[in-house]
A and B are shown apart, each in its own frame.
Chain A
């Protein structure tokens, strides 16, 4: 099967040019301080030091990770049953449902978030609806509820897609075999279906967790700016403060933490996959 390996080479070349080289420029910024416009680079660890030693920044980083983890968990817990139900449907219904779930993501994210702002407002649609039942008004906008809702709304389609992919076209004979061997549906699910869908879940987690940590517009608009997350800080460094060095350093710190956690998550993947094959 060595003949297939060469299919990787063009892409390795591509990422070296389009991802690694540009990223090296960011690394360069992270380790330097620049004088105003002149390119006088001077090696320093000051940018990292400034972030790590500041308790407020550490708290922000911690909060960002926490919100991202919560978002990811909710996406898995809600996304799995939805994907499972869709996967059980006929082929056409399947396609239609997947497209129906993807379609809202083709509407601009800012526009969708503005819509949520209107819906969650104290005098918004949701509160009027609750009012009919004599509840509220409940404050929803500018709370962590709103931020997490916005994130889940934005990212859960990717989770559903990934889990659905791993469940679709699954070898049904395995399930039949489990049934024949006397496993009840719950056992069959836990022993056969779930392990087989673990790679899909991991992919889904990657697609939700990674962008959730660095998300920027959702906490800003739905959280009312009090929910400063690490994405906001990085964005501010580049777009308003103009402190690229500090911004680069923060994103490197974040990248390292995420890479570590993804490495651990994928370890689960490998062991689960080998379990499934036994």
Chain B
């Protein structure tokens, strides 16, 4: 049965990847474009790479984007996981309430969330910058994390925890040793989505930041006259870096497995 389906599966996967990477390929090609056009290729050049490396605001924006995305993802994944677990044991009314409120940032157009936060921060008269932007990102990332974890929690056998507790586990142990491993795929996909949302956000970041703190999206969207192909160059480098990381991530577990197989023969 496995053999029969695998050819079809492969075709589907190849088509999927083709669909996902066609625009990415396009972006990479146009990062080497000689002219400013993003749709018409006129010759090979590295000028956009030179321009990108020579532009301090762009390098700064990369730094801020990464800092915010990493911190927001880490914090919202932890908080989201804890809350989702707590929520699954809470009364139905509380669950419903939190779910509905969580829907708001997912559902509202970014501009509505952005304006509401802009007014909120200006009422509080806080100095806008990295801190306010990070708070905003955490705010809209947590609902995505919870949305990913909740279904996994729901399919969890409720007796599992009781069993663990009966066997003498403390609630904390039950949490970290029993629940978390079971919902791990949900946590990972939640973290991935949170990272994506934070990395790609423009409107909310724009209205919650200040004092020269920009992320990549802000640079891109406010290139009001023309999007500068340096952004393509930047995207190409981001893709390259992620691919490299991906390679390492892929190799490390294999190595680690070999290592642990040598050192711990008993499983």
Contacts and interface: CB of A to CB of B under 8 A. Distances in A.
Direct contact of A and B (CB under 8 A): yes
A23 B144 contact: no
Interface residues of A, number: 95
B103 A111 contact: no
Interface in A87-123: 88, 92, 95-112, 114-119, 121
B63 interface: no
Interface string A211-229: 1011010000000000000
Interface in B30-55: 30, 38-39
Contacts of B83: 7-8, 10-11
Interface string B9-35: 100110011011111101100100000
A64 B69 CA distance: 30
Interface string B220-235: 1100000100011001
Interface residues of B, number: 93
Interface of A: 1-12, 14-15, 18-23, 25-26, 81-82, 85-86, 88, 92, 95-112, 114-119, 121, 124-125, 153, 157-158, 161-162, 164-166, 168-169, 185, 196, 199-200, 202-203, 206-207, 210-211, 213-214, 216, 231, 234-235, 238-239, 244, 247-248, 251, 254-255, 258-259, 262, 266, 273, 276
Given A96-B246, A161-B148, 18 more contacts: A4-B88, A5-B90, A8-B87, A15-B98, A15-B102, A18-B117, A20-B101, A85-B9, A98-B192, A108-B216, A110-B217, A110-B227, A165-B151, A165-B152, A165-B188, A199-B152, A210-B106, A235-B109
A165 B227 contact: no
Contacts of B1: 185
Contacts of B99: 266
B17 A100 contact: yes
Given A92-B254, A168-B185, A238-B111, A25 B116 contact: yes
Instruction: Please indicate which of the listed interface residues B13, B171, B182, B217 has the most CB atoms of chain A within 10 Å of its own CB.
Output: B13
A11 B142 contact: yes
B85 A165 contact: no
Contacts of A99: 242, 246, 249
